[in-house]
Amino acid sequence: MATQQEVFGHGLAVITGAGAGIGEGLARHLAGLGMTVVVADIDEAAARRVAGDLPAPGRGIPYAVDVRDGDAVAGLARWVRSELGPVRLLIANAGLQQFGHLWDTPVAGWQRVMEVNVNGVFHCARAFLPDMLVDPGRSHVLVMASIGSVVSMPMQSSYIVSKHAVLALAECLHQEIGLVGADVNVAAVLPGAVLSDIFSSAGGVEHGDVDAAERHRRDMFSVRERAISPAEAGETIVEQAAQGEFYIVTQPDMVLGAMRSRAEQLAERRSPAVFRSRFVPQNDE
């Protein structure tokens, strides 16, 4: 079985949303293994801070980009190719949350989630894959899905919809790469709970049941009790990617449990039960 060092000990990685959280944890871990990491983030100051502080023997290069903008992502891909060379590892990680009842969700909040979490990954695939398909040697694409890709949950419908979509995108992309026979490994990453800014930066609602949206935000903060650090997430994700897993999970107990519940719910045609908190399905409803 290949080691992390063998697979990811050299070459170039591009990570979107690497200015914080899981993306930052991945950037730190990959630089420690020896990769040059393009720290791409909408927050230019965060990208600079992380890129300037990555551990040797690797190094970081900051790049400000909004993954919602397909032309900007294409510009990133062109710049990386001309200045740095072929990409060995692309991690489409940028993503954000939105809380509140579906009927209270602002149109702009819904669109922001879809544009970042789904369109952002599509733009990365369009911008980087044509070169990665023909470059010599194996390359890797990690698509950041979520435990939310395999559960349905109230009060964050836009996020759940986006993460179901992005898991489907990764599964389709994996098959398309198989069809053309290119040497590109595509994997879907399903984190369970990782300490990050995602709940504090999440959109809320302006009209309707504002309290319910904020109560849900507070409930989600309680998930932190079971959260791992971005550093641990980075190491776990890279380890499983090196082993060639398609479904990469940060916390097997939590995420595989959710996958099994989902599979059983569908196979047994059970109506969705209210999923209250801490990712524990309430089957008695």
Ligand X SMILES: NC(=O)c1ccc[n+]([C@@H]2O[C@H](COP(=O)([O-])OP(=O)(O)OC[C@H]3O[C@@H](n4cnc5c(N)ncnc54)[C@H](O)[C@@H]3O)[C@@H](O)[C@H]2O)c1
Residues that bind ligand X (CB under 6 A): 16-17, 19-23, 41-43, 46, 65-68, 93-96, 116, 144, 146-147, 191, 193-194, 196-198, 201
- Residue 159 appears among annotated catalytic residues: yes
Q: Which is nearer to ligand X, 87 or 147 (CB)?
A: 147
Q: Which is nearer to ligand X, 33 or 147 (CB)?
A: 147
> What does the chain look like in DSSP terms, one character per residue?
---HHHHHSSSEEEEETTTSHHHHHHHHHHHHHT-EEEEEES-HHHHHHHHTTPPTTSEEEEEE--TT-HHHHHHHHHHHHHHT---SEEEE-----B-B-GGG--HHHHHHHIIIIIIHHHHHHHHHHHHHHHSSS-EEEEEE--GGGS---TTBHHHHHHHHHHHHHHHHHHHHHHHHT-SEEEEEEE---B-SSTTTS-B--SSS-HHHHHHHHHHHHGGGGGPBPHHHHHHHHHHHHHTT-SEEES-HHHHHHHHHHHHHHHHTTPPPPPB-STT-B-TT-
Q: Which is nearer to ligand X, 6 or 43 (CB)?
A: 43
Q: Which is nearer to ligand X, 35 or 147 (CB)?
A: 147
Q: How far is the CB of 220 from ligand X (least distance, A)?
A: 9
Q: How far is the CB of 268 from ligand X (least distance, A)?
A: 26
Choosing from 63, 99, 128, 159, the catalytic residue is: 159
Q: How far is the CB of 198 from ligand X (least distance, A)?
A: 4
Q: How far is the CB of 134 from ligand X (least distance, A)?
A: 27
Q: Which residues are catalytic?
A: 159
